[in-house]
Amino acid sequence: MGPQDGTAILPDVHWRTKDESRPGTGRPDVGPTWIDSGARLGDARLMRHVLLSVAALVAVPALLAADPLSDGDRQRVLAHFAMTDAWLASEIAGLTPAQQAWRPGPDAWSVTDVVEHLAVAEAQYWTQLQASLTQPLGQKSSVGDDRILWYGIDRTDRARTGEARVPTGRYASTAAALADFEKQRAVMREFARTTKEDLRGRVLKDSQMDVYQWLVMISAHSQRHILQVREIKAAPGFPAR
């Protein structure tokens, strides 16, 4: 186990996708096509067309203002966040300072390193998400949701993290790193709970996944590292209490 965070499908790999235009909305035609070969519609028919056209135009802003994130998607990402929030806290609860600082090998991470990495990485990933909300609408992910979820479970394929996310002892303690992690998580949970943004209709910058999948990926990334913490605790030589 080396200084790795297993980000095999995170933006470090720079997945790219083509922009795909979303089809037009087909707004109602309110022009001279109402005039049939020079013969005017009767007043009653003309008024009916006007009212229907106005009603359709008024409905367009309402449709655009609707919440594009389905209830199912919202519940799934909130449940995943709740799972990884509680799981990380429970995995490190009760560990002594010696246990938190212990490394299985010279280049391996300690529990403290893992939590520092998560605190730093999640802030950066949140910035990437916010920047991607300016991406044009009408794009489509080329990655299945199942792959995003599997990424959080399967640690057999690992990759070295970016230098900006390598643990360097930024925090005085594991508790301080965890506090920053939880503070950032609170921001993301509130965003997931309340956002009206079309997260499925935008692709993350320099990636093939959509912005909703990236939100799930942030939680799945922490799940990978929770499993890493468990590996550290199960490694030969882990200090006894």
Q: Which domain holds residue 45?
A: 32-64
Same domain (yes/no): 51, 76? no
* C-alpha triplet 95, 96, 101: angle, nearest 5°: 95
Residue 180, in any domain of the structure: yes
Q: Indicate whether 45 and 85 sit together in one domain.
A: no
- Name the domain count of the chain: 2
Residuewise pLDDT in 10s, the chain (241 residues): 444 444 434 443 323 222 333 333 333 322 322 223 333 334 444 444 433 443 433 333 333 444 588 999 999 999 999 999 999 999 999 999 999 999 999 889 999 999 999 999 999 999 999 999 999 999 899 999 999 999 999 888 777 787 778 888 999 999 999 999 999 999 999 999 999 999 999 999 989 999 999 999 999 999 999 999 999 999 999 999 8
Q: Are 77 and 37 in the same domain?
A: no
Which pTM was predicted? 0.73
Residues 48 and 156 in one domain: no
Q: How many residues does the chain have?
A: 241
